[in-house]
Amino acid sequence: EKKHEIVYRPSLTWSEKAAADAEAVAAFSCSGHGRAYLDSLISDGHTVCECYTCYGGIDCSEFSPGCSADADSGDPIFLEPFWMQNAEDSAIVVSGWHRMSYSYADYTSMSTMSSEVEKYIRKLHSIVGNAITEDRYLVFGIGSSQLLSAAVYALSSQNSSSPSNVVATIPYYPMYEAQTLFFNSEDFEFEGDTTSWKLNNATDKMDVIEFVTSPNNPDGELKTSVLGGKTIYDHAYFWPHFTPIPAPSDHDFMIFTLSKLTGHAGARFGWAVIKDKDVYEKVSRYITVADLGISKDTQLRVLKLLKVAVESDGKQLFKFAYDKMRERWDRLTSVFSKSTRFSIQKRDPLHCNFFNETRLPSPAYAWVKCEREEEDDCRAVLKAGKIIGRSGSTYKAKDRYVRLSLIKSQDDFDLLMLRLTELVSLENGNIESI
């Protein structure tokens, strides 16, 4: 009879089974090197552990010794432990009949956006001090990805006979170009690098839309507009764990994403903060025409996560996230300080209004340069050292540069440190041997 616990608590009915299922699958340890989810594959009636890179076996306990460190993707798994620590406050139960309608009904208007989520986004920006949202419009999108494209549509001159010119400053996030090319609209054309474009054109007479990514992906730099005309500020990384926040951003069109704030890339949720009413209406129209708005299940989850994010005025989430990033940068700089063959971007201290102290930035990515003249394909050099990164040309920079992701799981980061240490330790030996 000791198997059962006698407890006093309010009786649950329809939700208890779902709760028990979720707790059962969460109890799978997968040796600490993988994860089981409610929707993981079932094999022979058993949930299957999904092992992290370089781990295998039925319980993810088997490490592959020769495995490469994968620092390719921007998967923000470094925040997973935070949400495990805050399991109770961040869980949601979605009933089978939760918000089946296309829209939220709140007496005055029909909208596909949750006004509670909107309220918490404004509250968060106010607490963090990274963006002005008073008297601005908000639009939700499927990640920031969808909003990048919506922004270009909204800012392009649809009644003009010549298409708007879209530019970004090298090194830039490749999605800007990929979307513009793929959608192949008559209203705009991708024209590449801002600085080259400025040299070759009389900018004051032309219709230009400039992407400003700040902090920049891949190199983490805080950027401002080169042309000073129509701009789209991609602020995906403008949070206190990646950069000091010197002042709230106050631009006409700013884009943020949950992915790099709370780490929930898989939820596909972003938002735009927009000053002009006409532009706001065009972006809203884009979202409606593209897919009639954002999943209501996702918005319910976003609300719960944002409620945790604003707890203790954001100190809890951002302290965890910043401590993690700073620790990773400390280890990273320690390894690179022993190298003359490889260098990483310089970081300059800035005052952070949120933490109220002067700090170094701790960007999401290391922007690595191969310093030896002959090593002009840095990705290949790192690959030979069992490190997978993204080559500079992905960002229209030279292949002498490689982006390494620092925001993946602890296992991924630890292996990256191991491989980098091995590589750097070889510098005084025979470089042909690696």
Shortest distance in whole angstroms from residue 205 CB to a second copy: 24
Which C-beta is closer to a second copy: that of 227 or that of 272? 272
Structure tokens of 399? 């292949």
Shortest distance in whole angstroms from residue 129 CB to a second copy: 25
Shortest distance in whole angstroms from residue 181 CB to a second copy: 9
Cα 219 off chain centre by: 14
* Binds a second copy (CB under 8 A): choice among 32, 64, 115, 330: 115
Shortest distance in whole angstroms from residue 413 CB to a second copy: 15
Nearest Cα residue to 71 out of 365, 398, 381: 365
Which C-beta is closer to a second copy: that of 18 or that of 426? 18
Footprint (CB under 8 A) of a second copy, residues 292-351: 292-301, 303-305, 308
Q: Which stretch binds a second copy (CB under 8 A): 7-15, 222-230, 328-336, 358-366?
A: 7-15
Cα 362 off chain centre by: 14
Whole-angstrom distance, CA of residue 298 vs CA of residue 147: 16
Q: Give yes or no for residue 122 binding a second copy (CB under 8 A).
A: no
Q: Which stretch binds a second copy (CB under 8 A): 129-137, 222-230, 262-270, 419-427?
A: 262-270
> 256 in helix, strand or coil?
strand
Q: Kindly tell me the sign of the dihedral angle through the C-alpha atoms of 191, 197, 200, 206.
A: positive
Q: Which stretch binds a second copy (CB under 8 A): 101-109, 217-225, 357-365, 391-399?
A: 101-109
* Binds a second copy (CB under 8 A): choice among 239, 280, 286, 342: 286
- Please give the size of the binding site for a second copy, defined by CB under 8 A: 107
* Binds a second copy (CB under 8 A): choice among 215, 220, 244, 263: 263
Cα 1 off chain centre by: 49
* Binds a second copy (CB under 8 A): choice among 101, 200, 428, 433: 101
Q: Distance between terminal CA atoms of the chain? A: 62
Q: Which stretch binds a second copy (CB under 8 A): 103-111, 218-226, 339-347, 371-379?
A: 103-111
Which C-beta is closer to a second copy: that of 87 or that of 434? 87
Footprint (CB under 8 A) of a second copy, residues 177-236: 178-179, 182-187
* Binds a second copy (CB under 8 A): choice among 136, 230, 268, 359: 268
Q: Do the Cβ atoms of 265 and 295 come closer than 8 Å?
A: no
- Long-range contacts (CB closer than 8 Å, 24 or more residues apart) made by 377-380: 378/402
Shortest distance in whole angstroms from residue 301 CB to a second copy: 5
Shortest distance in whole angstroms from residue 83 CB to a second copy: 4
Kind of pairing between the strands at 137-141 and 270-274: antiparallel
Whole-angstrom distance, CA of residue 434 vs CA of residue 430: 8
Beta bridge partners of 137: 274
Nearest Cα residue to 270 out of 179, 80, 138, 182: 138
Q: Kindly tell me the sign of the dihedral angle through the C-alpha atoms of 84, 87, 92, 93.
A: positive
Shortest distance in whole angstroms from residue 260 CB to a second copy: 11
Shortest distance in whole angstroms from residue 372 CB to a second copy: 33
Q: Kindly tell me the sign of the dihedral angle through the C-alpha atoms of 291, 176, 380, 334.
A: negative
Q: Do the Cβ atoms of 204 and 227 come closer than 8 Å?
A: no
Q: Which stretch binds a second copy (CB under 8 A): 61-69, 105-113, 217-225, 414-422?
A: 105-113
* Binds a second copy (CB under 8 A): choice among 54, 113, 114, 138: 114
* Binds a second copy (CB under 8 A): choice among 68, 149, 194, 243: 149
Q: Give yes or no for residue 358 binding a second copy (CB under 8 A).
A: no
Footprint (CB under 8 A) of a second copy, residues 8-47: 8-23, 26, 37-42
Q: Which residue has the tokens 């986004």?
A: 121
Which C-beta is closer to a second copy: that of 230 or that of 264? 264
Q: Do the Cβ atoms of 182 and 211 come closer than 8 Å?
A: no
Whole-angstrom distance, CA of residue 395 vs CA of residue 356: 33
Which C-beta is closer to a second copy: that of 21 or that of 327? 21
Which C-beta is closer to a second copy: that of 185 or that of 225? 185
Footprint (CB under 8 A) of a second copy, residues 59-98: 73, 75-77, 79-80, 83-84, 86-98
- Burial (CB count within 10 angstroms: exposed 0-12, middle 13-18, buried 19+), residue 15: exposed
Nearest Cα residue to 198 out of 218, 243, 228, 171: 228
Q: Give yes or no for residue 50 binding a second copy (CB under 8 A).
A: yes
Nearest Cα residue to 285 out of 139, 119, 166: 139
Shortest distance in whole angstroms from residue 316 CB to a second copy: 13
Whole-angstrom distance, CA of residue 274 vs CA of residue 250: 10
Q: Do the Cβ atoms of 237 and 255 come closer than 8 Å?
A: no
Which C-beta is closer to a second copy: that of 317 or that of 402? 317
